[in-house]
Structure 1
Amino acid sequence: MNLAESVQALYAEYGALKGVTIEIYKQLIAVSVKNDAASATVFLQGAQVAEYKRVGEPSLLWLSEQCDYQRGKALRGGIPVCWPWFGDIDKNPDSVKCQVSADNPPAHGFVREQMWRLANVELIDSETTQITLELDVTPSELWPFSAALRLVVTVGSSLSLQFEVHNVGGQPFSFTSALHSYFNVAEVEAVEVLGLEGVEYIDTLEGWSRSCSSDPLRVAAEVDRIYRNVTGPIQINDPGFARQIKVTHSHAPDLVAWNPWVVKSIRLSHFADQDFHKMLCLESAHLLDNLQTLAPDQSYSMGLNCRISVT
Structure 2
Amino acid sequence: MNLAEQLQDLYQKFGDLPGISIELHKQLIAVAVDNKSAKATIFLQGAQVAEYQQKGQQPLLWLSDQCDFKAGKSLRGGIPICWPWFGNLECNPEQVRSQFPADAPAHGFVRDREWNLDSIELVDPSTTELLLSLDVQPDAQLPFAATLQLKVTVAEQLRLEFTVTNSGDDCFSFTSALHTYLNISEIEAVSVSGLEGISYLDTLNDWKPEIDEASVRISGETDRVYQNLDKPVRLSDSGFKRTIRLDADNAPDMVVWNPWLEKAKRLSHFADDAYQRMICLESAHVLDNLKSLEPGESFVMQLFVMQEGLAQQA
- TM-score normalised to the size of structure 2? 0.98
- How far the C-alpha of 1:162 sits from its partner, in A, is 0.4
- Listed as ranges, the matches of 1:294-309 within 5 Å are 294-309=293-308
Residues in 2 aligned to 1:188 and 1:63: alpha-carbon distance in whole angstroms: 16
- How far the C-alpha of 1:206 sits from its partner, in A, is 0.5
Q: What per-residue deviation string (whole Å, max 9, x for no partner) do you get for residues 214-251 of structure 1?
A: 10010011100000001110111011111111110100
Residues in 1 aligned to 2:59 and 2:36: alpha-carbon distance in whole angstroms: 16
Residues in 1 aligned to 2:280 and 2:69: alpha-carbon distance in whole angstroms: 21
Say whether 1:96 aligns with 2:132: no
Residues in 1 aligned to 2:308 and 2:300: alpha-carbon distance in whole angstroms: 27
- How far the C-alpha of 1:190 sits from its partner, in A, is 1.1
Superposition misfits of 4+ residues, deviation over 3 angstroms: none
Aligned equivalent of 1:148:
147
1:217 match: secondary structure: coil
Say whether 1:31 aligns with 2:54: no
Residues in 1 aligned to 2:282 and 2:113: alpha-carbon distance in whole angstroms: 20
1:289 match: secondary structure: helix
Letter in 2 for 1:129: T
Letter in 2 for 1:256: V
Aligned equivalent of 1:216:
215
Residues in 2 aligned to 1:164 and 1:106: alpha-carbon distance in whole angstroms: 22
Aligned equivalent of 2:54:
54
Say whether 1:177 aligns with 2:194: no
Aligned equivalent of 1:67:
67
- Give the alignment's Cα RMSD to 1 decimal: 0.7
Residue identity over aligned pairs, in percent, reads: 52
Letter in 2 for 1:160: R
- How far the C-alpha of 1:309 sits from its partner, in A, is 2.5
Residue segments in structure 1 that go unaligned for 5+ positions in a row:
none
1:301 match: secondary structure: strand
Residues in 1 aligned to 2:145 and 2:309: alpha-carbon distance in whole angstroms: 44
- How far the C-alpha of 1:307 sits from its partner, in A, is 1.4
Residues in 2 aligned to 1:136 and 1:144: alpha-carbon distance in whole angstroms: 13
Residue segments in structure 2 that go unaligned for 5+ positions in a row:
none
- TM-score normalised to the size of structure 1? 0.99
Residues in 1 aligned to 2:299 and 2:108: alpha-carbon distance in whole angstroms: 17
1:302 match: secondary structure: strand
Residues in 2 aligned to 1:84 and 1:277: alpha-carbon distance in whole angstroms: 30
Letter in 2 for 1:64: S
Q: What per-residue deviation string (whole Å, max 9, x for no partner) do you get for residues 192-220 of structure 1?
A: 11100000000000110000111001001
- Listed as ranges, the matches of 1:71-90 within 5 Å are 71-90=71-90
Aligned equivalent of 1:120:
119
- How far the C-alpha of 1:142 sits from its partner, in A, is 0.6
2:134 match: secondary structure: strand
Residues in 2 aligned to 1:137 and 1:87: alpha-carbon distance in whole angstroms: 20
1:105 match: secondary structure: coil
Residues in 2 aligned to 1:107 and 1:207: alpha-carbon distance in whole angstroms: 19
- How far the C-alpha of 1:310 sits from its partner, in A, is 3.3
Aligned equivalent of 1:193:
192
Q: How many pairs are equivalent?
A: 310
Say whether 1:6 aligns with 2:6: yes
Residues in 1 aligned to 2:252 and 2:140: alpha-carbon distance in whole angstroms: 29
1:263 match: secondary structure: helix
Letter in 2 for 1:285: A
Residues in 1 aligned to 2:228 and 2:309: alpha-carbon distance in whole angstroms: 29
